[in-house]
Amino acid sequence: HALQLPHDEL
Amino acid sequence: MNIFRLTGDLSHLAAIIILLLKIWKTRSCAGISGKSQILFALVFTTRYLDLLTSFISLYNTTMKVIYIGCAYATVYLIYMKFKATYDGNHDSFRMEFLVVPVGGLACLVNHDFSFLEILWTFSIYLESVAILPQLFMISKTGEAETITTHYLFFLGLYRALYLFNWIWRFYFEGFFDMIAIVAGMVQTILYCDFFYLYVTKGQGISL
């Protein structure tokens, strides 16, 4: 998978 | 979570704490760009609005709250408590030259045209260039104190470590976020000149 929202990084 | 991500976050935290302590201990914000600090406060505010909408982990939430709190504390120290030591004349970079184009870009290039997502994108783009007023100030005065250079080193190192984190995540999780990656590369490149000076001249920099 590519990006999945929500963002899990800071 | 991998080692690059964790050390990146800790490096970021170290940078923020170093700056806050430096200002607090010396009772002075001389040589520090208040405008860069305002921009970073804006970056954290617009990025971490998801604190209100989604829970990732206790670690994630804690760090976000610390980052936001420290960012505003730093701005408070510069513009209120130690205002008399703030070197406004040399902090002459125009913030709108960054905020306006970055806002436009965030509306044009994003993952999803929704309010929170555009603010997140705005924060990613803005963070990549938010250090420019500080670098501009150093180039204008021609010097930076030792602790200021440590601050910049950890702040630059953080995004560089994130680049390795993204390589890791691409190979092991198939994860990639093109917006963060490209902005992170731009951000890291902006620090290269500084890294070179930091390593060769060490500590206090005078141009």
pLDDT in tens, B151-207: 999 999 999 999 999 999 999 999 999 999 999 999 999 999 999 989 887 666 776
In terms of Cβ atoms closer than 10 Å to its own Cβ (0-12, 13-18, 19+), residue B87 is middle
Q: What is the mean pLDDT of residues B111-116?
A: 95
What does pLDDT average to over chain B? 96
At residue B203, the pLDDT reads 64
B 116-145 residues inside an 8 A Cβ radius of A: 117, 120
Cβ-Cβ contacts under 8 Å, B54 against chain A: 6
Q: Which of B190, B90, B184 is nearest to B131 (CA)?
A: B190
Q: Are B55 and B61 in contact (CB under 8 A)?
A: yes
Phi, psi of A5 (to 5 degrees): -80, 150
B120/A7 Cβ within 8 A: yes
At residue B207, the pLDDT reads 67
Q: How many CB pairs below 8 A link A and B?
A: 36
The three state secondary structure string of chain B is: CCHHHHHHHHHHHHHHHHHHHHHHHHCCCCCCCHHHHHHHHHHHHHHHHHHHCCCCCHHHHHHHHHHHHHHHHHHHHHHHHCHHHCCHHHCCCCCHHHHHHHHHHHHHCCCCCCHHHHHHHHHHHHHHHCCHHHHHHHHHHCEECHHHHHHHHHHHHHHHHHHHHHHHHHHHHCCCCHHHHHHHHHHHHHHHHHHHHHHHHCCCEEC
pLDDT at B19 over 70: yes
Q: Residue B137: which pLDDT band, with cuts at 50, 70 and 90?
A: very high
| Per-residue tokens: B163 | 């680049």
Pick the more confident residue, A6 or B191: B191
**A10 to chain B, minimum CA–CA distance in Å?**
7
At residue B201, the pLDDT reads 79
pLDDT at B39 over 90: yes
At residue A4, the pLDDT reads 77
Residue in chain A nearest B53 by alpha carbon: A6
Q: What is the mean pLDDT of residues B87-105?
A: 97
Q: How many residues does chain B have?
A: 207
- CB neighbourhood size of B10 (10 A): 14
Q: What is the mean pLDDT of residues B44-54?
A: 96
At residue B167, the pLDDT reads 97
At residue B96, the pLDDT reads 98
Q: Are B207 and B143 in contact (CB under 8 A)?
A: yes
The dihedral of CA B144, B13, B112, B49: what is its sign?
Answer: negative
B175/A7 Cβ within 8 A: no
Query: Which value does ipTM take for this structure?
Result: 0.89
Q: Residue B28: which pLDDT band, with cuts at 50, 70 and 90?
A: very high
